[in-house]
Each structure stands twice: as structure tokens, then as C-alpha cells.
């Protein structure tokens, strides 16, 4: 039980670090919060909530993994290296694709309710 609580505390530490250090993470959290508020305002059904929650979780998870990859690259390759560049660019691309998908899902769900 103690081990479970420590794992939870480490995860919260990671979330806290990412929130404090990554502007994009703050922006995505803010976007997620707006989607949740809007979801209550337009009274989403459970199926629509599921898509919104999955989209928010997907972007947050991708940002967290991207941050971990960036830190790892900075640790093993503090100097310029073409492979370090590619690793960071590919990780950043995963966040971009995830965020675009989340945006498309959000538009599909909210636009018909707002027009």
C-alpha cells in the first residue's frame, strides 16, 4: 500500500513538473478545461463526454511523454546531435497530431450544438 502511495506521489510530481515547465502543457490543460465547461453548457450526452474526455487525456498523455523524451534527450545529448534533433522533432509531431485530432473531435461535437 505504501509503495502504491509513493508511485502516486511520483506521478503527481511529474505532472506538477510538466505543468510548471511546459507552456504548451498549460495551454492544452486550459483548452481541456474550456471543453469541459462548454460540455456542461451545451449538455453533452455520455457518448459525447467519452470522446471529449478521451481527447483531453490523449493530448495530456502525449505532452507528458514528449516532455519525458525531451528531458531524456537533454540528458544523453546535451550537445547538438542530428539524431537528438530527429527524436525531439518526432516526439513533438506526435503531440501535434494528437492535438489536431482532439481539435477535430471537439469541432465535430461542439459546432452542431453552437450553430
The binding site for ATP comprises: 10, 70, 79-81, 88-89
Q: Write the interaction track for ligand ATP spanning residues 56-95; mark x where CB under 6 A is met and - where it is not.
A: --------------x------x--xx--xx--xx--x---
Q: Which of residues 89-108 bind ligand ATP (CB under 6 A)?
A: 89, 92
Contacts with ligand ATP by CB under 6 A: the residue count is 10
| Burial (CB count <10 Å: 0-12, 13-18, 19+), residue 8 | exposed
| Burial of 28 per CB tally in 10 Å (0-12, 13-18, 19+) | buried
Q: Which is nearer to ligand ATP, 56 or 95 (CB)?
A: 95
Per the CB < 8 A criterion, the answer to whether 103 and 55 are in contact is no
Amino acid at each position: 500500500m505504501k509503495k502504491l502511495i509513493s508511485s502516486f506521489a511520483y506521478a503527481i510530481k511529474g505532472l506538477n513538473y510538466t505543468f510548471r515547465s511546459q507552456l504548451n502543457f498549460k495551454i492544452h490543460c486550459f483548452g481541456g478545461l474550456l471543453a469541459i465547461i462548454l460540455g456542461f453548457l451545451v449538455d453533452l450526452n455520455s457518448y459525447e463526454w467519452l470522446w471529449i474526455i478521451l481527447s483531453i487525456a490523449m493530448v495530456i498523455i502525449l505532452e507528458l511523454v514528449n516532455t519525458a523524451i525531451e528531458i531524456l534527450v537533454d540528458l544523453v545529448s546535451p550537445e547538438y546531435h542530428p539524431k537528438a534533433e530527429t527524436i525531439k522533432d518526432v516526439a513533438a509531431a506526435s503531440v501535434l497530431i494528437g492535438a489536431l485530432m482532439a481539435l477535430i473531435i471537439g469541432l465535430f461535437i461542439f459546432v452542431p450544438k453552437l450553430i
